[in-house]
Amino acid sequence: MKKKSLSAKIIPRKLNFNKFLKDKKIFKIYKNFEKNFENLKYPNKVAVSVSGGSDSLALSFLVLCYKFKKKINIHASFYLINHGLRNNSYEEAISVKNILKLNEIDLKILHWKGKKPKSNIQSLARKKRYELLFNECTKSNIKIVLFGHHQEDIYETFFSRLLRGSGTEGLSSFSKIENRFDHKNNKIRVFRPLLNLNKQDLIYISKKVFKFYIKDPSNEQDRFQRVRIRKLILNLKNEGLDLKKLNLTINNLASTTEAINEIVEYNIRENVAFLLKNKYLINSKFFLMPKEIVFRSLSLLFRKISKKHYPPRGKKMINLINDLNYKKYTKLTLGGTIIEKIHNSVLVSREKTKKH
């Protein structure tokens, strides 16, 4: 698509929501989004993660469309992370900002400063994106961040985790609503309202509404695992992979995970006592549960105490559980917590962070 001059004068125009909603396809997509967005219970503030791709541009339109249709005063802030990993990334960011400004959407560009990685690029870029977004949200007292992940992202994540040997929780992919924490341990909710929409739906909206979206060239580079997995899924579809059946498998795994999580919650509720100052006492019955329940119970407890999004790595957790089961006394730090076994009970508390 033709690039606009970065210095061209921009004359904003109002998005004509009524006009776009007369399009049957857009209306159907919007109603799907509306149903998902209702889960947020009318928040006052949200942040929208914008990349310039069709997913995030469609998401931006749908958020504003919801605000228009419901006549609700939701303050939506739009942020784009310029990772600076490509030579023209700044120009692309400006072109996205200009397109959104043309439609009366104010976009703030956040820059990843400093040395860039040469390996594990996509994973580190994703972590940096969350970090920059969450820091900005903390400054603006925003508790909810919207991402444009869609149906194809679920499939790619499923196969990625399958290759890593993940269990039912990992294979059931990411959820629509997820709690994470910023650098100050403030809880921020990640919301993905487009998970049951496909990529082509979002491209359709971007073309109709903005007549623009950016194609990331890294999406064609085989050196990235996600790109290879995307091509693998395409090949499997050509060989007869039924995505409806894959959806059913993922949903069944999610149901299994939900059932296991209920037992995990029961184990923590019945066998863990809160003392004071972020200290928890685990009794011996906690460890009589099946291994998977003990593993997940400890993982969840560590996340609650440390306020970290991810628990310690699986191997470390398994070694810890073995020590707690077979050693009379043990004391160590793991995953932002201090663990101490005293007789048949285990005391867990938050590790003090060093002040710089």
The alpha-helical segments, DSSP class H, found in 5-120 are 17-21, 24-37, 54-70, 89-102
Q: What angle do CA 128, 131, 134 make, to 5 degrees?
A: 145
Per-residue pLDDT at 320 exceeds 70? yes
At residue 50, the 3 state secondary structure works out as strand
Strand partners, 50: 80
Whole-Å CA distances, 186 to 105, 137, 142, 182, 303: 27, 10, 10, 5, 13
Centre a 10 Å sphere on the Cβ of residue 158 and count the other Cβ atoms it contains.
22
How would residue 192 be classed by pLDDT, with cut points 50, 70 and 90?
Answer: very high
Helix (H) or strand (E) holding 272: strand 272-274
Q: Which two tokens stand for residue 278?
A: 């972020």
Rounded CA-CA distance 84/118 in Å is: 13
Predicted confidence (pLDDT) per residue in 113-140, tens digit: 888 877 878 788 888 899 999 999 999 9
Confidence (pLDDT) at 2: 42
Q: Is the pLDDT of residue 199 over 70?
A: yes
Identity of the residue numbered 140 = S
In this prediction, residue 10 carries a pLDDT of 66
Of 110-124, 136-150, 182-196, highest mean pLDDT: 136-150
Query: Given this model, what pLDDT does residue 1 score?
Result: 42
> Over the stretch 230-270, which tens digit does the pLDDT of each residue have?
999 999 988 898 988 998 998 899 889 889 989 999 999 99
Kindly report the pTM of this predicted structure.
Answer: 0.81
Give pLDDT, residue 6.
Answer: 46
Find residue 332's DSSP bridge partners. 339
Split at pLDDT 50, 70, 90, the class of 313 is: confident
| Confidence at residue 5, expressed as pLDDT on a 0 to 100 scale | 46
Residue range 289-312: mean pLDDT, rounded: 86
The one-letter amino acid code at 146 reads L
Edge to edge, what strands does the sheet with 107-111 contain? Answer: 107-111, 75-82, 45-50, 144-146, 187-191, 177-181
Domains and CATH numbers, the chain: 17-241 (3.40.50.620), 264-350 (3.30.465)
One DSSP character per residue, 326-356 reads: H-S-EEEEETTEEEEEETTEEEEEEPPPPP-
